[in-house]
Amino acid sequence: MTHSNYPPGTGDTQAPLAWHDGDMPFSTAFGDHFYCQTDGRLECGHVFLAGNGLPERWQTTESFTIGELGFGTGLNACETWRQWKEHRRPGAHLHFVSFELFPMQAEEIDRALARWPEIDAERQALVSLWPTDPSGVVEIDLDDKTRLSVVCGDALENLTASTLTFDAWFLDGFAPSRNSAMWSAELMQRVHDTTRESGSFATYAAAGFVRRNLIAAGFDVERRPGFAGKREMLSGVRRSA
């Protein structure tokens, strides 16, 4: 079902995958792994959740909307959902909206996430609800307080057409050196413009041009220690007008 807040997503193609070390997906289109080879689930907690002040911020809101660039395997969505269930206020609602050019098939998601028993329940639920032909806008009610929307197609095009606003962003495209379009000045500007006042972003990326694009877009940007020995990551908040 396509919600009126979204453009008609156009992504209906798949990029070929390779599998490294058994069950670690590797994008042959971008020449990069889908998540940190050390532990992608723990990286999600360190970079995307803590980098956005989560789960603490969930204690002060009745609704929260997360935007993500790069759904990939759904790892961030599953780990976020797991933590949301533990920390949400009674009656609060989460909307997790992810923009993905090449959506995976259910069996690929299942294989990629099976290495983490901590998210077994979330993985199984996601896979059972994932469509056979993921295209357009995939809308899934994970539970009665959590909605997942995966907007398939070009991120800049679809985010430009979207009327949604976001409390936090997970910027998780492939490495800037391999997928520069996912970190362009135009896309970072659109991320900023759809971020609510005092909203935030976090990313594992620390490339100079990414930082400059985020600052130019209107974010106050902070360098923080990266995950698993990576020297830096970036986080920030929307600059007050």
Side-chain-facing half-sphere of 213: CA atoms under 13 Å: 21
Report the CATH number that the domain containing residue 72 is assigned in CATH.
Answer: 3.40.50.150
User: What pLDDT was estimated at residue 16?
Assistant: 72
The four Cα atoms 94, 139, 52, 44 give a dihedral, to 10 degrees, of: 120
Q: How far apart are CA 68 and CA 141, in angstroms?
A: 17
Tell me whether residue 16 is in a domain: no
Q: Mean per-residue pLDDT for 53-63?
A: 97
> pTM to 2 decimals?
0.89
Tell me whether residue 135 is in a domain: yes
> Which of 9-13, 28-32, 45-49 has the largest mean confidence?
45-49
How many other CB atoms are found less than 10 A from the CB of residue 121? 13
Tell me whether residue 133 is in a domain: yes
Higher pLDDT, 223 or 226: 223
Out of 31-40, 92-101, 155-164, 172-181, which region has the weakest mean confidence (pLDDT)? 31-40
User: What pLDDT was estimated at residue 238?
Assistant: 97
User: What pLDDT was estimated at residue 7?
Assistant: 47
Nearest to 210 by CA among 224, 221, 200: 221
Tell me whether residue 214 is in a domain: yes
Q: How far apart are CA 160 and CA 66, in angstroms?
A: 16
Mean pLDDT, all residues of the chain: 88
Nearest to 77 by CA among 170, 151, 187: 170
User: What pLDDT was estimated at residue 240?
Assistant: 81
pLDDT-based confidence at residue 30 (cuts at 50, 70, 90)? low
Q: What counts of helices (H) and strands (E) characterise the chain?
A: 7, 11
**For helices 106-113 and 75-87, what crossing angle results, to 10°?**
70
User: What pLDDT was estimated at residue 194?
Assistant: 98
Out of 2-16, 19-33, 82-96, 189-203, which region has the weakest mean confidence (pLDDT)? 2-16
Q: How far apart are CA 172 and CA 73, in angstroms?
A: 11
Q: Mean per-residue pLDDT for 48-63?
A: 97
> Which of 3-17, 33-47, 151-165, 222-236 has the largest mean confidence?
151-165
Q: Could you give the maximum distance between any two Cα atoms of the chain, in Å?
A: 49
Percentage, residues of the chain above pLDDT 70: 83
Tell me whether residue 27 is in a domain: no
Q: Is the pLDDT of residue 41 over 80?
A: yes
What range does the domain containing 191 cover? 39-238
- List Cα–Cα distances, 73 to 46, 162, 217, in angstroms: 18, 23, 28
In this structure, what token pair is assigned to residue 174? 């492939």
Q: Is the pLDDT of residue 142 over 60?
A: yes
Tell me whether residue 88 is in a domain: yes
In eight-state DSSP terms, residue 213 is H
Out of 2-16, 94-108, 160-174, which region has the weakest mean confidence (pLDDT)? 2-16
Q: How far apart are CA 8 and CA 3, in angstroms?
A: 9
Q: How far apart are CA 164 and CA 95, in angstroms?
A: 11
Tell me whether residue 8 is in a domain: no
Tell me whether residue 168 is in a domain: yes
N-terminal to C-terminal alpha carbon distance within the chain: 36
How many other CB atoms are found less than 10 A from the CB of residue 120? 13
How many other CB atoms are found less than 10 A from the CB of residue 212? 13
Number of domains in the chain: 1
Q: Mean per-residue pLDDT for 119-128?
A: 98
Q: Mean per-residue pLDDT for 80-103?
A: 97
Q: Mean per-residue pLDDT for 198-218?
A: 96
